């Protein structure tokens, strides 16, 4: 708003109109996709809760062995046992040679390495998560349909800041459910039909954004700053 004083000492106000930064309402496909994700996530939690936790052995890079429980113990829990500083600086884990979400429960005996941003694989996960945050912005503020959103060799295209800490949630989904979830987007449907060669694959949710993704990711958007 801009103001100017007239001869009588009063202030006249000239209003300027601005285009809203965020869409007045989200596209319908976002709400439909979230509803399906929440339904499938609830089913997943039921399946995990039905599994019987077993004692597992967790081997650290220095050879030290810790005890955990399958389907309950997460890499973050182990990092916190070692030191809070390690847990705070952790970007992702490596379990039996595979990069692994910090909040994803361990399933069996495992070697465990906690990766920071200084590690090459940690950087890739950090930038990958940053690309997802940018994808969320495209949907929320532009209403765009997303295609590929990978990190590039030395980062990603834009820096962003987000006040809230939205978790990255991982979910294993069947190809049939994937086609239902992304039916609004012909680009995603093509990727699913041409690239997904297994009965199941994973999606990740970050706020309202849900996208095809093998992962893993940082714990939440607050880690990208």
89-120 pLDDT, tens digit per residue, is 999 999 999 999 999 999 999 999 999 999 99
Residue % of the chain over a pLDDT of 70:
79
Cis previous bond, 21, omega within 30: no
Q: What is the pTM of this model?
A: 0.70
- Rounded-to-10 torsion of CA 28, 29, 31, 36: 150
In Å, how far from its chain's centre is CA 35? Answer: 17
SS3 61: coil
Range with the lowest mean pLDDT among 50-64, 89-103, 125-139, 189-203? 125-139
Residue % of the chain over a pLDDT of 90:
65
SS3 80: helix
> Domains in the chain, please, with CATH?
27-116 (3.10.20.30), 122-161 (no CATH), 168-223 (3.30.54.20)
How does the average pLDDT of the chain come out, rounded?
Answer: 84
């Amino acid at each position: 708003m801009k103001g100017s004083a007239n001869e009588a000492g009063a202030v006249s106000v000239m209003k300027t109109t601005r285009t809203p930064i965020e869409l007045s309402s989200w596209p319908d496909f976002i709400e439909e996709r979230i509803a399906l994700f929440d339904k499938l996530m609830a089913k997943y939690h039921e399946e995990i809760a039905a599994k019987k936790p077993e004692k597992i052995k967790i081997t650290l890079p220095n050879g030290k062995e810790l005890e955990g429980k399958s389907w309950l113990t997460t890499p973050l829990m182990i990092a916190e046992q070692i030191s809070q500083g390690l847990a705070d600086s952790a970007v992702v884990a490596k379990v039996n040679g595979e990069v692994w979400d910090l909040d994803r429960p361990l399933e069996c005996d495992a070697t465990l390495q906690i990766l920071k941003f200084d590690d090459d694989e940690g950087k890739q996960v950090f930038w990958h998560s940053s690309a997802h945050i940018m994808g969320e912005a495209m949907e929320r503020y532009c209403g765009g349909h997303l295609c590929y959103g990978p990190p590039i060799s030395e980062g990603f295209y834009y820096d962003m800041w987000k006040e809230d800490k939205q978790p990255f949630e991982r979910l294993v989904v069947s190809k049939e459910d994937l086609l239902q979830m992304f039916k609004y987007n012909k680009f995603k449907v093509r990727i699913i039909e041409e690239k997904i060669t297994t009965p199941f694959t994973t999606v990740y949710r970050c706020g309202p954004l849900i996208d095809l993704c093998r992962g893993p990711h940082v714990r939440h958007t607050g880690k990208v700053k």
